[in-house]
Chain A
Amino acid sequence: MTYHIEPLSEIYETSDGYIITIDLPFITDKNQIEMYVKENELEIIATMNKKVFWSSFEGFGRRIEVNKFRKKISLPIKIDPESVKATFKNGLLIIEIPKKREKKTKINIS
């Protein structure tokens, strides 16, 4: 049986939006990655170029065969899915999510 595991990820907030990086060892080409975006959620599925053995503390060190990474990330804000940009470089997926520009109304102070 082959399993999928969750990759490590980091999220940073910038003044313009969010940058999410996802570490994807054994992924060498962008075509191995599928990415889906909803208003407040990202899903990434990446298929490794071979099956590998992996063990975790939680699994009591039991080695399992894995060939996929899968991760869902809930976003703290609603986003425009069309505005999301993703690049893959040196085994890292970098996702840039701009913040929605919301119309501001200036209030006069009396």
Chain B
Amino acid sequence: MVVRLEYYDVDVVELQPIPPNLIAIEGLPDIGLVGVISSFHLIEKMHMKPVAYFKSVVMPPIQSVKMGIIQEPMAVYSDGKLLIITSEVPVPTSIVKNLSRTIADWLYEKRVSFVVSINGYPTQRRIEIQKPEVVGVSNSEKGVEILKEKGIKPLEEGFLAGIFAELLSLLKDRNIDAYAIIAESFPTYPDPGAAASALEALSKLLDMKIDIQELLEKGDEIRLNLKDLSAKATQNKMETIPSMYR
């Protein structure tokens, strides 16, 4: 069964029925590709299957191919408990607002229980840091208390920019609890170490065991294969941030 839903400039194509009460994880390309690396690690370890994908006339005309078959690059994967939104291609700056609204409306329609975005925040001194620190943000006071209870330090103050920032706000408008897990990351380079720290925090938040050893062992391969996507994601991210906040 394929269901095509239209939101703003973005279509969501569902490949199978999506049950309610799933936990949604957003890991779209951003600083250090922390969300992308974390998402693909979870997808692989939990043998998740694509259940939906996003399409837009504003997206670059790129398809990935695996074993001769096209794969939609911006897709949603699930194992029946989690719903992971990620992308193998950069998200064009021009689509950030409409894609965020599409994701928020679609997650509302799918009646997810809550949403977690996984991200990196750029730090120039990352080279000196053995284990990146993680902070959390929520869109509700209750959410901040939950972060504290789970041992995730809330970000005291600062600015957020990008799809996850937009999503936190849009989901609040739709009465959906949302969190962002943000790990210290290299500004431009793909950062598997930051993804490992983010996944440790996610495992606390979800009370779920996540094996990160394999992710750390595959660090070189991840850094090499994602180098172009990381450079483009950083460039797009800088374009979305007003110059006074850079």
Contact = CB atoms under 8 A, between A and B. Distances in A.
Contact of A89 (B64, B127, B223, B228): B127
Contacts, number: 42
Given A25-B221, A25-B224, A54-B225, A10 B127 contact: no
B189 A56 contact: no
A105 to B, nearest CB: 35
A31 B175 CA distance: 56
A79 B168 CA distance: 47
B228 A25 contact: no
B189 A23 contact: yes
Given A21-B127, A57-B62, A94-B127, A8 B225 contact: no
A13 to B, nearest CB: 12
Contacts of A94: 127
B228 A56 contact: yes
Contacts of B80: none
Nearest to B188: A10
B151 interface: no
Contact of B224 (A54, A57, A89): A54
B124 interface: yes
Interface of A: 7-8, 10, 12, 21, 23, 25-26, 52, 54-58, 61, 89-92, 94
11 contacts: A7-B227, A8-B188, A23-B188, A52-B221, A52-B224, A55-B225, A56-B228, A57-B62, A57-B89, A57-B228, A89-B127
